[in-house]
Amino acid sequence: MDSTYSVKIWKIGTRKQARGTTYTVRWTLDGREWRAPFTTHALADAFRSELVSATRRGEAFSLATGRPVSHQTGASGVNWYDFAVRFVDAKWLRTSGNNRKNVAKAFMTMTITLLRTQPSGFKAIEVRTALREWAFNTRRRGEAPAEVTAILAWVERNTLTMAAWEDPQKVDEVLNAIGTKLDGKPAAASSVKRNRRILNVAMEYAVHHKILRANPLPKGRGTAPKTSSAVDKRSLLNPSQAAGLLGWIRRRPRGGPRLHAFFATLYYAGSRPEEVVAMYVRDVTLPDEGDEDQWGELAFHTARPEVGKQWTDTGEIHEKRGLKGRAEDDTRNVPCRPALTLILREHIKAEELKPSDLLFPGEGGDMLAGSVFRRAWRTAREKVLSDDEAASPLGKRVYDLRHTCLTTWLNNGVPPAQVAEWAGNSVPVLLATYARCISGQLKDLQKRIEATELPVVDDDA
CATH number of 233-442: 1.10.443.10
| pLDDT score, position 27 | 94
| pLDDT score, position 230 | 84
Domain ranges, ordered by start, for the chain: 3-72, 97-208, 233-442
CA atoms within 13 A on the CB side of 34: 21
| pLDDT score, position 328 | 75
CA dihedral for 95, 98, 99, 104, sign (positive or negative): positive
171 neighbors 146 (Cβ within 8 angstroms): no
421 neighbors 332 (Cβ within 8 angstroms): yes
User: pTM, whole model, 2 decimals?
Assistant: 0.75
Q: What is the 3-state secondary structure (H, E, C) of the chain?
A: CCEECCEEECCCEEEEECCEEEEEEEEEECCEEEEEEECCHHHHHHHHHHHHHHHHCCCCEECCCCCEHHHHCCHHHCEHHHHHHHHHHHHHHHCCHHHHHHHHHHHHHHHHHCECCCCCCCCHHHHHHHHHHHHCCCCCHHHCCHHHHHHHHHHHHCECEHHHHHCHHHHHHHHHHCCECCCCCECCHHHHHHHHHHHHHHHHHHHHCCCCCCCCCCCCCCCCCCCCCCCCHHHCCCHHHHHHHHHHHHCCCCCHHHHHHHHHHHHHHCCCHHHHCCCEHHHEECCCCCCCCCCEEEEECCECCECCHHHCCCCCCECCECCCCCCCCCCEEEEECHHHHHHHHHHHHHHCCCCCCECCECCCCCECCHHHHHHHHHHHHHHHCCHHHHHCCCCCCCCHHHHHHHHHHHHCCCCHHHHHHHHCCCHHHHHHHHHHHCCCCHHHHHHHHHHCCCCCCCCCC
| pLDDT score, position 386 | 96
| pLDDT score, position 134 | 96
Residue by residue, pLDDT tens for the chain (461 residues) are 578 999 999 999 998 876 678 888 999 999 888 888 877 888 888 889 989 999 999 999 987 678 888 766 567 778 899 999 999 999 999 999 999 999 999 999 999 999 988 888 889 999 999 999 999 999 999 899 999 999 999 999 899 989 889 888 899 999 999 999 988 899 988 899 999 999 999 999 999 988 888 899 988 655 667 766 788 999 999 999 999 999 999 999 889 999 999 999 999 999 999 999 999 999 999 998 877 789 999 999 999 999 999 999 888 999 998 888 777 788 999 999 999 999 999 999 999 999 999 999 998 888 999 999 999 999 999 999 999 999 999 999 999 999 999 999 998 889 999 999 999 988 999 988 887 777 655 566 566 666 665 565 555 54
